[in-house]
């Protein structure tokens, strides 16, 4: 009996050592695929983040008077209380209108491009492209800019500048944020300032990142098993890098068509940007950072169920049918991608005078 006890202890110890080795191997593999979100905001090319520009950018992000109706700010749809999205506020009926689900502003600075179709190269371009048209247009056309013709876009940019000029407090703030410019209150500078603020909207310290950098206890066993499945089944083929996605484009339905609920025929994705038939139904691979906070899923916002979204992706992109247990573990892993949400003190905006 004493011998068998010692044998059991040895077995347990070697099991522990085996698990530790397996975890180290998984971490090595993961380090080759992913990177943690950095703790500090990255610098933007040709757009240094001075304190004045950052403060102005934050104000403009919360500024409803940038919209024609003076009601919608960046923060309305990219809500910093709600994972940087609108929680599917308008997703019902989105598909019919060729509109698309809002993408999160959190960690967007790490994406290769902006929008589901990548039509904006960086954050500043996204802002400059963005149109906060009148609320009716916003409510009818989830796609925003895509659904609005270029002349309307131009007119609205001009209106935004005119509206900001009714708030004399902004004059000085633009001068200080863009020193030495003869006319700093221009549309491009709105984009630059907001981009600098948006670059600070990053979510470090997710359990996955803590695990990746050596904290063994940061992930549960289910989450580690989910990570292994995420890699082994092929999810990480596209969803990799610092944002676990966001760095490439892929056809939705490469193996099997996910059906019109998730992929309606009328929204051909990146094709609208490139006019290349190879880009029909190609979309930017979304980041999975904070994915538990950013339902509903897909460009159509067609499901709030993360497990269902995982299954649709496995079947349509990889030709894989996951077991319930596998889905549960992958979802557990995905929930480990929720980082520390930015702490945002509301800015005080200057009053409008006319």
Provide the binding-site residues for its own copies, judged by CB under 8 A: 59, 62, 64-65, 69-71, 76, 79-83, 86-90, 135-136, 139, 292-295, 304-305, 341, 343-349, 351-354
Q: Token digits for 196?
A: 């600098």
Closer residue to its own copies, CB minimum distance, 107 or 294: 294
Residue owning tokens 């902004």: 170
Cα–Cα distance for residue pair 278/292, rounded to 1 Å: 32
Q: Which of 35, 63, 101, 152 is catalytic?
A: 152
Q: How far is the CB of 73 from its own copies (least distance, A)?
A: 9
Closer residue to its own copies, CB minimum distance, 64 or 237: 64
Q: How far is the CB of 301 from its own copies (least distance, A)?
A: 11
HSE (side-chain half, CA atoms, 13 Å) at 224: 20
Closer residue to its own copies, CB minimum distance, 35 or 292: 292
- 15, burial (CB in 10 Å: exposed 0-12, middle 13-18, buried 19+): exposed
3-state secondary structure 147-199: HCCHHHHHHHHHHHHHHHHCCCHHHHHHHHHCCCCCCCCCHHHHHHHHHHHHC
Q: How far is the CB of 166 from its own copies (least distance, A)?
A: 8
Closer residue to its own copies, CB minimum distance, 176 or 308: 308
Closer residue to its own copies, CB minimum distance, 158 or 166: 166
Active-site residue flag, 152? yes
Cα–Cα distance for residue pair 339/255, rounded to 1 Å: 32
Q: How far is the CB of 138 from its own copies (least distance, A)?
A: 9
Q: Taking Cα atoms as reference points, which of 344, 301, 341 lies closest to residue 83?
A: 341
Give the three-state DSSP class for 94. coil
Q: How far is the CB of 64 from its own copies (least distance, A)?
A: 6
> Who's near 333: CB < 8 A, 6+ residues apart?
208, 219, 222, 223, 224, 225, 226, 227, 229, 230
Residue owning tokens 């090595």: 28
Active site residues: 152
């Amino acid at each position: 009996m004493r011998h068998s006890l010692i044998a059991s202890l040895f077995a347990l110890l070697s099991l522990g050592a085996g698990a530790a080795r397996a975890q180290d191997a998984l971490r090595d593999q993961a380090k080759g695929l992913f990177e943690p979100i950095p703790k500090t905001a990255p610098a933007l090319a040709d757009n240094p983040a001075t304190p004045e520009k950052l403060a102005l950018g934050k104000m403009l992000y919360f500024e409803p008077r940038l919209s024609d109706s003076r009601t919608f700010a960046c923060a309305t749809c990219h809500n910093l209380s709600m994972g940087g999205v609108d929680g599917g506020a308008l997703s019902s009926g989105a598909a019919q209108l060729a509109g698309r689900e809002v993408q999160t502003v959190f960690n967007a600075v790490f994406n290769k491009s902006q929008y589901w179709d990548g039509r904006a190269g960086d954050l500043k371009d996204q802002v400059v492209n963005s149109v906060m048209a009148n609320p009716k247009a916003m409510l009818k056309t989830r796609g925003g800019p895509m659904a609005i013709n270029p002349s309307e876009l131009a007119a609205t940019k001009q209106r935004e500048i005119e509206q900001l000029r009714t708030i004399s407090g902004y004059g000085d703030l633009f001068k200080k944020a863009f020193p030495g410019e003869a006319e700093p209150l221009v549309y491009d500078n709105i984009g630059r300032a907001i981009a600098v603020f948006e670059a600070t909207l990053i979510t470090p310290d997710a359990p996955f990142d803590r695990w990746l950098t050596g904290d063994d206890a940061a992930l549960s066993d289910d989450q580690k098993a989910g990570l292994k499945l995420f890699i082994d089944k092929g999810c990480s083929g596209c969803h990799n890098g610092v944002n676990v996605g966001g760095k490439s484009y892929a056809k939705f339905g490469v193996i099997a068509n996910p059906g019109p609920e998730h992929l309606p025929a009328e929204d051909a994705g990146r094709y609208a940007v490139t006019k290349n038939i190879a880009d029909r139904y190609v979309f930017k691979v979304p980041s999975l950072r904070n994915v538990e906070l950013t339902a509903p899923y897909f460009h159509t916002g067609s499901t709030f169920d993360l497990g269902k979204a995982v299954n649709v992706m496995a079947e349509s992109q990889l030709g894989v049918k996951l077991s319930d247990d596998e889905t549960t573990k992958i979802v557990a892993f995905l929930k480990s991608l929720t980082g520390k949400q930015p702490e945002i003190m509301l800015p005080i905006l200057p009053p409008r005078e006319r």
